[in-house]
Amino acid sequence: MQELTKADILPPAKPEGGKINLPGGVVQELIKADILPPANKEDIQRVLKELRDKLAWYKDNQDQKTKEVK
């Protein structure tokens, strides 16, 4: 999975009403990761926390899951 940066998530211009516009690829990757894409600027912190938590879980369980697959 490709790492997302703030530039990938935040639009270049400020849309009205706190809404954000995400590129389709970012939305697709979030859905693949089973994370609900943000609906507004307030949701960005939630999404970033979910991404960090998911990454930490994968790193913590990498060895165990790799052994299960073999």
Q: Where are the domains of the chain?
A: 38-70
| Predicted pLDDT of residue 6 | 64
Give the tens place of pLDDT for each residue, 18-33. Answer: 788 899 999 999 999 9
Nearest residue to 8 via CA among 38, 32, 36, 34: 38
**Higher-pLDDT residue of 14, 39:** 39
